[in-house]
Amino acid sequence: MIGGGNAALCAAISARREGASVLVLEASSAFWRGGNTRHTRNMRCAHDEATEILTGPYTEDEFFEDLLRVTKGKTDEVLARHMIHESKAMLTWIAEQGVRWQPSLGGTLSLGRTNSFFLGGGRAMLNALYATAERLGVEIRYEAEVTDLVIEDGMFISATMKDGEMVTAGALVAAAGGFESNITWLKQYWGEAADNFLIRGTGNNKGTILKLLLDKGVQEVGDPTQCHAVAIDARAPKYDGGIITRLDCVVFGIVVNKNAERFYDEGEDIWPKRYAIWGRLVAAQPDQIAYIIFDASSLKLFMPSLYPPIAAGTIPELACELGLDPDALRKTVNDFNAAVQPGTFDDKILDDCRTEGLSPPKTHWARRIEVAPFYAYPVRPGITFTYLGTRVNKEARMLMADGRPAANIFAAGEIMAGNVLGEGYAAGIGMTIGAVFGRIAGREAARNARN
């Protein structure tokens, strides 16, 4: 197994349980193990009825419809349906590997219907998987970076380690993530704009293994510009700021670019359905920066985040704090305020607070920005993970460029997420892809190695 996150560990455990001897090569040190899994929180699995941790049924069909909607149909239906079907068993399988689901905290308040939450979050989940893998006899090596692969005619022969050591195996599972932390690679598609991207997760996903595989004849899948990207606090560190730099206040205010101009309908739909489009929207703005502007009436309506908002007594003062043109920002806010129609504000539904005659409009939750102090959060595109990957079949076996299945090479997780996610995202689906295809890849790799 190359990689050390959810997908790699599910593959390792599954292969070990099939009787294979398993070596996990994790490029990072023990603390940073698991790449982006450390930052995850939940997994989306289909289920036919409510359970102790899920408030209601979420059928395979509904899951698939959700996937079709977010990807705008850009998904491999056979793989997607297979994954969704297999996700049902994941609720119990993952718990059997020692991972704990978070029970209800008070009534059913803290529970979702579609997603199950890991008790203690992704790192707790990862710790449980590692403990189980170790107990089963999986060998785990840290700081074990693979720098080259020998693949002959679709057959994995050996991996070369950074120190020159050659590792051979009967089968390979590549679960080493995407290439989002490789800014140079991102620049191939995004140009200099990529310099202004923040990477929400691990700094270790340089895409080395993905590149090696593609260079050695594995078929590519996915649009290289597609990724999970949200607008996060621009003050976040370049890498690994994680969940706490996200901002949930777009719907409560307006978002302007560096010219103090609005550029998209902030109230298009409820936030959970729209938060993942804002990374790309901000990426398309000059200098890849934007500012969420709101007033005192909204300050406590959203989840707190890491950095305090920038505050000022008037809109022009706020503009100065942000380095924006004060007159331009005042005009934008005034135009917006003038366009706001009377309505009954309710942030839990698509309410009737909207603008009239404004372009772009704000179609819900539009309230005048008029109560001092005024606040702003600067935001930049925060890349969660990339979708360019290796094409696989239902066995999680990679397909070579000519369409033939690879002899003994499998993939799971981010490195093959593009098979299912052509674009868009639904919360928790990254972990579903990792766990389901990890389990399949491990099982198939073990059977393959045995034969």
Partner 1 sequence: MLATETKIAGTTLHHATAALAEADRLMTVCNSCRYCEGLCAVFPAMEMRRSFADGDLNYLANLCHSCGACFYDCQFSPPHAFAVNVPKVLAQVRNESYARYAWPRALAPAFARNGVTIATVAALSVAVFLFGFMLSNDPGTLFSKQTGEGAFYRLMPHNAMALVFSAALLYTLVAMGMGLRAFWRDIGETRETLRVPDYNAQASRDALSLRYLDGGGAGCMNVDEKPTKDRRRLYHHLTFYGFMLCFASTSTATLYHYLLGREAPYPIWDLPVVLGTLGGIGLVIGPLGLLRAKADRDPILCEESGRGMEQAFILMLLALGVTGLALLVFRATPAMGTLLAIHLGAVFGFFLTMPYGKFVHGLYRYAALVRSAKERESLHEPSPSAARALAKTSPKAAS
The site for partner 1 (CB under 8 A) is made up of: 31, 38-42, 44, 55, 100, 102-103, 105-115, 117-124, 127-128, 131, 234-235, 237, 240, 242-245, 248, 270-272, 275-276, 289, 300, 303-308, 322-323, 348-349, 378, 427-428
Q: Which is nearer to partner 1, 111 or 172 (CB)?
A: 111
How far, in Å, CA of 308 to CA of 321, rounded?
14
Q: Which CB atom, from 120 or from 373, has the smaller least distance to partner 1?
A: 120
Among 20, 29, 93, 28, which Cα is nearest to 431's? 93
Q: Name the DSSP class of 303.
A: -
What is the end-to-end Cα distance of the chain in Å, rounded? 18
H/E segment holding residue 449 = helix 429-450
Q: With respect to partner 1, which residue has the nearer C-beta, 108 or 393? A: 108
Alpha-carbon distances of 327 from 287, 315, 330, 433, rounded to whole Å? 20, 9, 5, 48
> What minimum distance in Å lies between the beta carbon of 99 and partner 1?
10
* Helix boundaries (H) for 38-109: 60-71, 77-96
Cβ 287 to partner 1, closest distance in Å?
Answer: 10
| Residue 327: how many other CB atoms lie within 10 Å | 11
Question: At its nearest, how many Å lie between partner 1 and the CB of residue 151?
Answer: 34
Work out how close the CB of 438 gets to partner 1 at its nearest, in angstroms, rounded to a whole number: 20
Q: How far is the CB of 285 from partner 1 (least distance, A)?
A: 14
Decide whether 80 or 111 has the Cβ nearer to partner 1: 111
Measured between alpha carbons, how far is 281 from 380 in angstroms, rounded to an integer? 10
Angle at which helices 77-96 and 429-450 pack, to 10 degrees? 90
By beta-carbon proximity to partner 1, the closer residue of 13 and 398 is 13
Instruction: Return the number of the residue (41 or 206) whose C-beta is nearest partner 1.
Output: 41
Closest contact distance (angstroms) between CB of 102 and partner 1 is 4
247, containing H or E segment? none
